[in-house]
Amino acid sequence: MSDQSLLLLLDEVRGKTLRILDSSTVADALWAPPGLENTILWHGGHAYFLLEWLTMHALDRPPQLPGGWYLYFSWDSRPAGVPVARWPPLPDVIARLHDQHERIRRIVGELSGEQLDQPSARNPQKTVRYEILHALHDEACHCGEIHLLRKLQAVGKGRPKS
């Protein structure tokens, strides 16, 4: 039987990420405040990357990463060094996040409690469940970063904070 709490968390976290990205402009998605590197676009792509990487490797399956996404969105990425023209367009990142949500939901929904509690193939000291929860927790934190970037943009443009 699938873990309904894990599926609910996936829906809630990814839903919030998608709502805030859907309300972002392309220009705002590429802005980083002085002294920081990570943009709204980077946070969105990183959410895709991390859920994909941790979930698929925990299950000993190959991650489905578009070309260049490890370089752009992994923990080894250096967003300030990527020319603006090389970033994937915001609508493409949003579409990938939607598709991934459906695919990961299907995969996780097919896992039994015993399978979720098995050691992760990526890190046997952690369970498959832990790896998925870790990715979703990280995405929720990055969603908070996106909210903060949006607030900074609003203040800079003289708009009320949303």
Q: Stretch 121-139: mean pLDDT, rounded? A: 98
The string of pLDDT tens digits covering residues 150-161 is 999 998 776 665
Does residue 40 contact residue 27 with C-beta atoms inside 8 Å? no
Q: Does residue 8 carry a pLDDT above 60?
A: yes
**How far apart are alpha carbons 66 and 100 in whole angstroms?**
12
Helices 90-109, 40-58: crossing angle, 10 deg rounding: 30
**How far apart are alpha carbons 75 and 91 in whole angstroms?**
22
CA distances (Å), origin 48, targets 42, 113, 130 = 10, 24, 17
Q: What angle do CA 46, 52, 53 make, to 5 degrees?
A: 85
Boundaries of every domain in the chain: 4-156
DSSP 80: G
Compute the mean pLDDT over every residue in the chain, rounded to the nearest whole number. Answer: 95
92: left (phi over 0), alpha (psi -120 to 50) or beta: alpha
3-state secondary structure of 36: coil
Q: What is the pLDDT of residue 156?
A: 79
Q: Stretch 143-147: mean pLDDT, rounded? A: 96
Q: Does residue 51 carry a pLDDT above 60?
A: yes
The first and second tokens of residue 110, run together, are: 């097919």
Q: Which of 39, 13, 37, 38 is nearest to 28 (CA)?
A: 39
Q: Which of 42-51, 56-65, 73-82, 103-112 has the lowest mean pLDDT?
A: 73-82
DSSP 76: T
Does residue 123 contact residue 131 with C-beta atoms inside 8 Å? yes
Which CATH entry fits the domain spanning 4-156: 3.10.20.600, 3.40.1190.20, 1.20.120.450, 3.40.50.620?
1.20.120.450
Give the other-Cβ count within 10 Å of 37's Cβ: 13
